[in-house]
Amino acid sequence: MGHLAVSAASGQNFKIVPDHDFGAARAVSTSAPIDKRQATFHALVTGLASAICLILASAWDLKQPNLAVWTTFLVMAQHSYSSFQKGIERIIGRGIGIFLGLVVVTWLNNMPLVVLMVVGVLLTAFFYLYFAGRMAYTFLQAGLYLVAVLEIGTAAPTTVFSEAKELFAAIVVGVFVADLVNWLVGSEADLGLELGETPLFPIRGEWINQSVMLSVTVLVTLVGAHVIGLPPAQSAISVIVLTVAPHLQALIVKGELRLLGLILATLWGLATFILIGLLPYFSLLVLLVFFGVFVATYFTITGGPYGYAGLQMGLVVPMLVASAPIEFGSVTPAEQRFEGIILGLVASILVAGIWPSFPTSESKPAPPPSPVPAMPGEIDV
């Protein structure tokens, strides 16, 4: 794929360049460190947009307000081409995943083996397109939400359509707010889309190999989570995010940073619960979400090798504190995410460790530390 400018790297500007030996990509430093004033401005705008999204989600009575808020954060905090493109890809990818998930749970109900086979084939196709860099983020999101809707349909088949509708509505609102705020403050005017130029044919063996490995790991994780009673969707999402890493060492580091971000967000969430318990005002909650997202975004941009933990913090803060009123004060989402990360990390290490041709470490000189993923597209869910 062509070179893509990265707007929010770990204190430096980066570009994504092809790694032809593995068929993926890696981050390479291209310029001097980012001005801390620019990072502060970007964090302020992202925090403001997230706060506005929370207000609108509450006014419009969205059933998934936290999803809308963390969508705004993720679209704005870090992107490989433009915030606009990331939002469009997020809507299209998750729309595809939701639609196919509904098709699978509706038409293949009560046929678990067939469901696993169909999901495995779909995931393999999505991951191959991801590694090819053709609208990579779109197909990563499609895989994530295919699994998410599958699990909703398995657990509550009578409500899967209504829940899917609410999920998609929250995503659209989150992207709309991000684009609107970017336009109003003049942060971004580019409406172009980078589709990627890497040929899909002939079929690349290394992409097929890792795509099949990813699909197998997801299916093993789903089955294992059901057997031991852990959250299957969270575990499978962690598997997808971790196993797209270019080698085993990077996979483990990414898992550690996901845990670090979760811990930071949980601490922020607990402090928010205490303050809101003492001063139960919606305006105070909005202010705390603003500051939480501001800190997370600034950490993402300037955190060096720990920047990915900042991205995770910014995702989990809204997950905890921007939830529906009936769920406010509960740390269950953090507990489920922790369990999902641990199971996902274990499953990813086990499968990747025995999978043929999957490297255990970087075979080339390591690039400068960066929260930018070592693959096309952002790995931020």
Q: What is the mean predicted confidence (pLDDT) over 192-217?
A: 84
Residue 254 to residues 98, 247, 309, Cα–Cα distance (Å) = 26, 11, 9
Name residue 28's beta-bridge partners.
15
Contact 341, 381 (CB under 8 A): no
- Retrieve residue 243's tokens: 């196993």
Q: How far apart, in whole angstroms, are the C-alpha atoms of residue 352 and residue 243?
A: 8
Q: What is the mean predicted confidence (pLDDT) over 32-57?
A: 90
> What is the domain extent for residue 226?
4-354
Q: What is the mean predicted confidence (pLDDT) over 334-360?
A: 86
Residue 381 lies in a domain: no
Residue 360 lies in a domain: no
Residue 220 lies in a domain: yes
Q: What share of the chain is helix, strand, coil (3-state, %, to 5)?
A: 70, 5, 25
**Residue 286 pLDDT > 80:** yes
Residue 68 lies in a domain: yes
Residue 146 lies in a domain: yes
Residue 379 lies in a domain: no
In the chain, the number of structural domains is: 1
Residues present in the chain in total = 381
Any idea which residue has 């059901």 for tokens? Answer: 226
Q: What is the mean predicted confidence (pLDDT) over 86-109?
A: 94
Residue 217 lies in a domain: yes
pLDDT tens-digit series, residues 116-168: 999 999 999 999 999 888 888 999 999 999 999 998 888 888 899 999 999 99
Residue 374 lies in a domain: no
**Residue 21 pLDDT > 70:** no
Name the residue with higher pLDDT: 340 or 180: 180
Mean of per-residue pLDDT scores for the chain: 83
Name the residue with higher pLDDT: 375 or 334: 334
Residue % of the chain over a pLDDT of 90: 50
**Residue 243 pLDDT > 80:** no
Stated pTM of the model: 0.83
Q: At 26, is the secondary structure helix, strand, or coil?
A: strand
- Retrieve residue 59's tokens: 């006014």
H helix and E strand count, the chain: 12, 3
Least confident of 34-38, 92-96, 181-185, 340-344: 34-38
Q: What does the CA dihedral 182, 184, 187, 191 come to, rounded to 10 degrees?
A: 60
Supply the pLDDT for residue 380: 55
Please choose, from the candidates 78, 85, 82, 84, the residue with its C-alpha nearest in 3D space to the C-alpha of residue 10.
78
Name the residue with higher pLDDT: 262 or 380: 262
Amino acid sitting at position 94: R
Handedness of CA 360, 363, 366, 367 (dihedral sign): negative
Q: How far apart, in whole angstroms, are the C-alpha atoms of residue 171 and residue 155?
A: 22
With both helix axes pointing from N to C terminus, report the angle between 307-321 and 282-302 in degrees, rounded to the nearest 10: 170
Q: How far apart, in whole angstroms, are the C-alpha atoms of residue 207 and residue 71?
A: 28
